[in-house]
Structures are given as C-alpha cells and as structure tokens.
C-alpha cells in the first residue's frame, strides 16, 4: 500500500523532529544527538529452504537511542524492510517511549521477507537464527535491547526468540525479559495482545471527550455514533475496530491490501475477520459493498479515519482528498509531512502515531516488569482485596439494613486480576499522555499541529535525561 515520497521515511521523521525542535530551548548539539541513530546492525545469514535451496536473509536491528536501558521496539517481517525504514521506526520508538514515560531507549528490527512465502518450519529457523545473531553481537537481553511483535510477527515468533535466548544463556535468571509479546505460558502478560488497539481507543476517546476540540471540528463530544474507517485488519486494526464498535461507534469501512468493504450501517470486525479467513479476501462480505481500490477507503466521508497498516499511505498525492475530520494514526508513520501541511490547512486533526499507538510498548513495559519480578500481577493482593471488600460491604449492609443486588455484589467484591491492572495502567498512561500533549499545544499557539506538540514533549523528556545523565564528556 505504500507509495513513493520525495524523501525517505527516516528523513520524514527528521523533518517532523526539526519542525518541533524550534519550539524547544535545547542547544543544537543535544538536538543532533537525540535525532541520530546510535547503532545500526545489518546482518546477512543463510537459511536452507524446505526444498533444499539456500537463501540469504537480509535483516536489521537498529538501536536509535540508549539514553535509557534497555532499548525497546518490535521486529517486523515484511518485504518492504530496509535500513532506512528500520532506522525511522527505531527513532519513533525513542520518542514514543519518552512521551508515555516508559523508561526505555528506542529500537526496531526487521527481516526482509514476506512470511506468507515461508513454511512454519522455515520461519522458525529464520527467527531463531536472527536471535542468535543478536546474541552474538550483544544486541539482545533484558538489560540491553528487548524486541517485541510488529508487522508480520506475533506471539509465536516471540516464543521462538525467548527459547533461543534462554538456550544460549543458561542460568540467566531474568532471561524471560529478553523479549515481550510472548504467549502467557512463556512469561507473557495478560492484555498484551489487544494493548495497541485498546491504547488507540483510549487515546482517541480522550480527544473526543474534549468539548472544545470537538466543537472546533464540528463534531459532537464522545465516541458514540461516530463513523469510523479502519485501514488494516491485523492485530492493531482488528482490536481498534472492536473497541470502537463495543463503545457505540460505527465501523463503516474496513480495508485490507486486497480491497475494502463499506456498510453505512456498520461492520462487525470479527465477522469480517472470519469471512476473510474462510474466503481468503475481505471482499464480498454479506451486506457490504466492495470499493474499487483499497485506498478509496482513505477518502471516504467519515468522522475518524484510522490507518492501522503501514507507513506513507496518506501523502502529498491523496491528503487533499481526505474527508475525515480526525485522522488517528494507529500504524507507524502512515501520514507524510506533506500530508500534515495539508491537514493543517484543511483543519483536520491528526492524532500522531508515536503516542497514539504507544499502548503496545506500554504493556510490553508491564510484561518486562513482570518478568523481572517473577510474579504475576495481582497474585499478592487479589484475595486480600476481596476479603476486605466483602468485609466493608457486610458492614454497610448491616448498618444500613439494605442489601445490594447480586450484580453489584460481584462488582464490588472483585479483586484486581492481572488483566484488570494492565488495562487500568494502559488507560492511565494514554489519558495522561493525551492531556500532556494537548496542554503543550494549547499553551503554545504557534505550534501548528498535535504531532509537533507530541515531538516537543518527547524532545524535552529525552533532552532532560541526556543532560541529567551528564553524558557529554
Ligand atoms: N511494535 C510495537 C510498536 O511499534 C511494540 C513495540 C514494543 O512493545 O516494544 O510500538
């Protein structure tokens, strides 16, 4: 779905950075250091295919910043992977973590393959070999650099990574923290899978609850009844659509790379997902109409457009035709700097990727903390809270002579489980980050858009930690 742009992805991140840097007080040297990619590891290794042939893999791991340890960021499997893309995505991770106060540096990895063209066994060999290359060069470890899922990877790949790492580092007590997004049985945390989509929902909901912002856009407050278009039905797009639908929004269009479908009365993402699984395509979904080209979805009349697939999909060519009032970047880098300028002119609000999709890394942080503490969240306090809640409720009922309903009883008595704590930590993170960025934007009227305000927040936080580290010899 990506298109040609006048400059590379990394250059476009630099452009957005420079645009924001002028609203900060840091000297040029510090800004240059924050912008630079610290370490780039490009590797080549051979893999024997199932048919006996040998194929040379092209893969990367980039650590953009080590101002905090470990570095953090996903690994993507995609044919579009190249050094520039991985560098840009690693830089976005640095800024993303800073904005949501997750104490990590930024990193990203990628293997240039289309996973659909490989068998499960081949993918396992590729993932394990990639991991051992990272171990050899000290590019992975719970205190060094902690990968996670990204486009084209998921729990299965993370399980292979942790297993390979553990086998190469026997006795390392915190080894499970070398990667996040693992299956629960391998040290994962409940709530990680839906985390990015839920974070996207929390972030947009917070903006939609800001009456002044909504008035300016000519929209009503709240997410209920909003017409939403989602591009991409992968893990992020699927869960984003799910949370919007569950909270009363209408998903009028879903797009995937083979096409897009439209239904003004709203689509159910799970039914569409099952249809795609069965037929191999999103198209011809009962009750919906097919759009001629998948990118037509981006130009539909709607309240919120959510690109949740790849970078550069909204650019100088098509931004002028976008009719949405809000563009919410669930993917990394879906809008180019030219598109940003057009949105400013047209009064479209773009909620930027590097904070909006930070739910994944936020919950990764919770998973990593769980791995280092070697205990499940809620294990110590769940029963204590339930006993205490029962006691308080009993006292209230006795003193008032009234009894609460059975439904209320269950709700009040409930002691927090792991997933409750993870979701609540995520909600708190997204809500406060949204407010922080909006405050920066409102307090400086010359800041042109929300992306620039988000970058200002990120630059200030990274700069402070560089200065406090005293790392300038
Ligand atoms: N790949 C996700 C991202 O781009 C998650 C990264 C992580 O959990 O480390 O934010």
136-153 b/e with 16+ CB inside 10 Å = b?
eeebbbbebbbbbbbbbb
For ligand 1, atom 9, the nearest C-alpha belongs to 73
Q: Domain of 292: which CATH number?
A: 3.40.50.720
Specify whether 229 is located in the same domain as 334. yes
Binding site membership of 364 for ligand 1 (Cβ less than 6 Å) = yes
Residue 137: both structure tokens together: 């060069």
Specify whether 126 is located in the same domain as 167. yes
For residue 149, the ligand 1 atom closest to its alpha carbon is 1
In tens digits, the chain (473 residues) has pLDDT values of 445 577 899 999 999 999 999 999 999 999 999 999 999 999 999 999 999 999 999 999 999 999 999 999 999 999 999 999 999 999 999 999 999 999 999 999 999 999 999 999 999 999 999 999 999 999 999 999 999 999 999 999 999 999 999 999 999 999 999 999 999 999 999 999 999 999 999 999 999 999 999 999 999 999 999 999 999 999 999 999 999 999 999 999 999 989 999 999 999 999 999 999 999 999 999 999 999 898 999 999 999 999 999 889 999 999 999 999 999 999 999 999 999 999 999 999 999 999 999 999 999 999 999 999 999 999 999 999 999 999 999 999 999 999 999 999 999 999 999 999 999 999 999 999 999 999 999 999 999 999 999 999 999 999 998 888 776 65
Q: How far is CA 456 from CA 31, 360, 441, in A?
A: 11, 22, 9
Evaluate whether residue 150 is within a structural domain.
yes
Query: Where is the domain boundary, 323, 339, 356?
Result: 356
Specify whether 203 is located in the same domain as 285. yes
Q: How many domains does the chain have?
A: 2
Specify whether 345 is located in the same domain as 238. yes
Task: Give dist(CA 471, CA 473) in Å, integer.
Answer: 6
Query: Where is the domain boundary, 153, 186, 219?
Result: 186
Evaluate whether residue 458 is within a structural domain.
no
Task: Give dist(CA 274, CA 267) in Å, integer.
Answer: 13
Specify whether 102 is located in the same domain as 66. yes
Binding site membership of 192 for ligand 1 (Cβ less than 6 Å) = no
Specify whether 207 is located in the same domain as 350. yes
Evaluate whether residue 156 is within a structural domain.
yes
From the list 35, 68, 108, 325, the catalytic residue is 108
Evaluate whether residue 469 is within a structural domain.
no
Specify whether 231 is located in the same domain as 154. no
Q: 110 has which bridge partners?
A: 60, 76
Specify whether 147 is located in the same domain as 166. yes
Evaluate whether residue 297 is within a structural domain.
yes
For residue 73, the ligand 1 atom closest to its alpha carbon is 9
For ligand 1, atom 8, the nearest C-alpha belongs to 361
In whole angstroms, what separates CA 35 from the centre of its chain?
Answer: 21
Specify whether 43 is located in the same domain as 157. yes
Q: Which domain holds residue 254?
A: 195-356
- The alpha carbon of 73 and the centre of ligand 1 are apart by a number of angstroms equal to 5
For residue 361, the ligand 1 atom closest to its alpha carbon is 8
Q: Domain of 90: which CATH number?
A: 3.40.50.10860
Q: Is the pTM of this model over 0.85?
A: yes
Specify whether 146 is located in the same domain as 223. no
Whether 108 is catalytic is yes
């Amino acid at each position: 779905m990506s298109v040609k742009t006048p400059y590379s992805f990394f250059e476009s991140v630099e452009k957005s950075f420079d645009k924001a840097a002028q609203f900060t007080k840091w000297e040029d040297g510090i800004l240059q250091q924050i912008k630079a990619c610290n370490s780039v590891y490009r590797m080549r290794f051979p893999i024997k295919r199932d048919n006996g042939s040998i194929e040379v893999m092209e893969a990367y791991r980039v650590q953009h910043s080590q101002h905090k340890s470990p570095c953090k960021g996903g690994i993507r499997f995609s044919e579009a992977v190249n050094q520039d893309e991985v560098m840009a995505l690693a830089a976005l991770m640095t800024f993303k973590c800073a904005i949501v106060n997750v104490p990590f540096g930024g990193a990203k990895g990628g293997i240039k393959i289309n996973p659909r063209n490989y068998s499960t066994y081949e993918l396992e060999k590729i993932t394990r070999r990639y991991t051992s290359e990272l171990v050899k060069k000290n590019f992975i470890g719970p205190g060094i650099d902690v990968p996670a899922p990204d486009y084209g990877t998921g729990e299965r790949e993370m399980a292979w990574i942790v297993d390979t790492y553990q086998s190469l580092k026997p006795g390392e007590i915190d080894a499970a923290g070398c990667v996040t997004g693992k299956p629960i049985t391998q040290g994962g945390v409940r709530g990680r899978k839906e985390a990015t989509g839920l974070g996207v929902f929390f972030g947009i909901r917070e903006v939609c609850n800001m009456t002044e912002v909504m008035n300016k856009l000519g929209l009503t407050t709240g997410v209920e009844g909003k017409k939403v278009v989602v591009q991409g039905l992968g893990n992020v797009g699927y869960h984003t659509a799910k949370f919007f639908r569950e909270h009363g929004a209408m998903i009028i269009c879903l797009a995937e790379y083979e096409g897009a479908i439209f239904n003004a009365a709203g689509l159910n993402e799970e039914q569409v997902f099952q249809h795609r699984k069965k037929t191999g395509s999103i198209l011809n979904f009962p009750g919906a109409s097919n759009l001629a080209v998948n990118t037509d979805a981006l130009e539909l009349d709607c309240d919120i457009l959510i690109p949740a697939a790849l970078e550069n999909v909204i650019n100088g060519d098509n931004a002028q035709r976008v009719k949405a009032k809000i563009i919410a970047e669930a993917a990394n880098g879906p809008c180019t700097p030219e598109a940003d300028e057009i949105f400013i002119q047209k009064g479209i609000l773009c909620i930027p990727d590097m904070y909006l999709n930070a739910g994944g890394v936020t919950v990764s942080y919770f998973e990593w903390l769980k791995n280092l503490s070697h205990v499940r969240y809620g294990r110590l306090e769940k029963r204590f809270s339930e006993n205490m809640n029962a006691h308080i409720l009993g006292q209230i009922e006795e003193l008032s002579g009234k009894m609460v309903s059975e439904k209320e009883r269950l709700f009040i008595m409930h002691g927090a489980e792991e997933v409750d704590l993870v979701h609540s930590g995520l909600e708190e993170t997204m809500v406060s980050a949204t407010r922080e960025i909006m405050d920066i934007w409102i307090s400086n009227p010359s800041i042109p858009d929300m992306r620039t305000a988000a970058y200002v927040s990120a630059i200030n936080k990274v700069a402070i930690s560089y200065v406090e580290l005293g790392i300038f010899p």
